[in-house]
Amino acid sequence: MERTIETLLYRTVFIPEDDDPNPLFVLPTTGRWPTGWTLYTTTSVVIAWAEYCRNHPRDVAASDLTGGVGVDEASLDLFARLELAGVLAARSLYSLTFGFDRLADLTSPWAEECLRRAGFDLTSFHAEPSAGYGDCPELASLTDTLGWEAMRVPSAAWRRGDGWCVPVFRAGRARLLSAHRLLERASPTVAVAVATRYAAGERPAWLGPAA
Amino acid sequence: MTAVAVPGVTGRIDRVEWSALRRYWFDDDPTGHEYGLGWAYEAFLAAFWDLPGVATPPADPPPAPPADDIHGRAAALAVEAPHVARPAPPRPRLSGNLAADVHEVCGLTWAQIATLFAISERAVASWRVQGVPRHRLATMEALRAIGAIMVGGLDPPGVSRWLTAGSPSRLDSIAAGRQAEVLAEARAYLDTPAT
């Protein structure tokens, strides 16, 4: 099968002091899919923010808008649209359009079967950072040899549908068609923080118990 | 050269190239590295080439579950309102005066800086004119560097909150000589890896 597609992806981006963000900046060998250059993006805005919250649970905890009372069923609607602005840094929101030739889709039942046969433990998609992310880093180390430019994978921060994570690898960088700064400066809402899945033991108490 | 279609992967992967890689991994002198990846190499070859007749299914995300609990409702609300846009605050500028820079960029009061070093507020305030004492330089420079990283996403009062929130706070960590830990937390904001 041969297919070239245009893929619209999202990414929250660090705002430097000079207010000139670099949407392609990456720290090498970080996260679930570490390579020398992995650009973490998502297929939906809400998952981009959820990944951000999952990355900074301490600052989400310190951004408690309820004075320690916490969000519950009764107060969720009131707080849901408020921003987490106290301690969690604002970010720019970018849309990135890629024209991938080799985007590996690992989200379908068929791909899951392939991965299973390859010996990849599917629970690795959600494996804890403390567990070394299961088999994910090893698969990431193969992507260069496999010629994959990017891959579509589940998000550990958001397990309710709505989209995927798309780590883009070095080979995919040249497939970038355009980058647009959608929002100069924004913060996730309380609703995102509540709905986000955090690593074990890291869910801020004021958001209530995990699902 | 035979190109082999790989379901689930857009584009084509060259089987000859794979054979060369296979020889490299398995026929050359062992280095130890190949054993770690061997399972995956063999398995991926088998998995991605030896599934005749299997069509690639569409890759739409699974439907969201019904919003019948707080998490489901929160998720629905989050999709509807994932963020709040904010105007950019005025940008602070570094003056080169270390004490003044820490005060401005980190949003710390002279009293907070004094507490960090367990000295008087008056003594710290005098650093603006007299300069930061040599034995305090490293800590103050680290504070300024950390503040410079964070101030783009947080205005100076936000940087102050970021430094003082929690117990122990990041300022406590700096006071205890663990600037590197706090710097690493600040640098973690530079990227947004999926975790």
- Residue B68 is predicted with a pLDDT of 75
Residues 6+ apart with CB under 8 A from B118: B175
Q: Are B150 and B189 in contact (CB under 8 A)?
A: yes
CB distance from A172 to chain B under 8 Å? no
Residue B80, amino acid: E
- Residue B51 is predicted with a pLDDT of 38
Between CA A68 and CA A62 the distance in angstroms is 10
According to DSSP, the residues that pair with A93 across neighbouring strands are A12, A183
- Burial of B47-79, coded b for 16+ CB within 10 Å and e otherwise, reads bbbeeeeeebeebebeeeeebeebbbbbbbbbb
- Residue A85 is predicted with a pLDDT of 82
Q: Are B61 and A162 in contact (CB under 8 A)?
A: yes
Q: Output the six-digit token pair for B30.
A: 């062992």
Average pLDDT of every residue of chain A: 94
Query: pLDDT confidence of A171, banded at 50, 70, 90?
Result: very high
B62: preceding bond cis by omega (within 30 degrees): no
- Residue B56 is predicted with a pLDDT of 46
CA distance B136 to chain A (A): 25
- Residue B81 is predicted with a pLDDT of 97
**Contact map slice: A 22-51 vs B, CB within 8 A:** 25-27, 30-33, 38, 40, 43-46, 48-51
Q: Are A52 and A188 in contact (CB under 8 A)?
A: yes
The verdict on a CB contact (< 8 Å) between A15 and B152 is yes
Nearest Cα residue to A196 out of A4, A47, A68? A47
Nearest Cα residue to B75 out of A202, A122, A162, A109? A162
Span A40-50, pLDDT tens digits: 999 999 999 99
> Mutate which of A13, A39, A94, A105 to disrupt the B interface (most B C-beta within 10 Å)?
A105
Between CA A26 and CA A35 the distance in angstroms is 10
Q: How many CA atoms lie within 13 A of B134 on its CB side?
A: 0
- Residue A164 is predicted with a pLDDT of 95
Report the chain A residue with the minimal C-alpha distance to residue B146.
A17
Residues 6+ apart with CB under 8 A from A78: none
Report the chain A residue with the minimal C-alpha distance to residue B87.
A185
Between CA A5 and CA A1 the distance in angstroms is 13
Q: Is the pLDDT of residue B53 over 80?
A: no
Whole-number CA gyration radius for chain A = 18
Phi, psi angles (nearest 5°) of residue A29: 50, 50
Residue B179, amino acid: Q
Between CA B101 and CA B95 the distance in angstroms is 6
Report the chain B residue with the minimal C-alpha distance to residue A28.
B191
Higher model confidence: residue B139 or residue B31? B139
Between CA A53 and CA B76 the distance in angstroms is 17
- Residue B89 is predicted with a pLDDT of 86
Between CA B172 and CA B157 the distance in angstroms is 18
ipTM for the assembly: 0.93
Q: Are A38 and A169 in contact (CB under 8 A)?
A: yes
The verdict on a CB contact (< 8 Å) between A40 and B191 is yes
CB distance from A56 to chain B under 8 Å? yes
Between CA A128 and CA A48 the distance in angstroms is 19
